[in-house]
Amino acid sequence: MALELRASCEQCGTTLAAEGEAYICIHECTYCPSCTTALGGVCRNCGGELVRRPRPPEPLTS
């Protein structure tokens, strides 16, 4: 099972590309970079620290 990546920011709803820059908390609430900055790096839902989301692994099929 691959980790399911949310495709939009929790705060502003902007679309987040899987390979683009995004930030997540421990509960996988997902934010865009500008909202992460606006929130001071803290999740508005759970108060967890937001960290840079790692890039997903390269897909095996093209």
Binding interface with Zn ion (CB under 5 A): 9, 11-12, 25, 27, 29, 32, 35, 43, 45-46, 48
d(CA 27, CA 34): 19
Beta carbon of residue 7, minimum distance to Zn ion (angstroms, whole number) = 12
Q: How far is the CB of 48 from Zn ion (least distance, A)?
A: 5
Q: Considering the complex, what minimum distance in angstroms separates the CB of residue 6 from Zn ion?
A: 11
Euclidean distance between CA atoms 56 and 29, whole angstroms: 16
Q: Which is nearer to Zn ion, 40 or 57 (CB)?
A: 40
User: Could you tell me which of 34, 12, 33, 14 has the C-alpha nearest to residue 22?
Assistant: 33
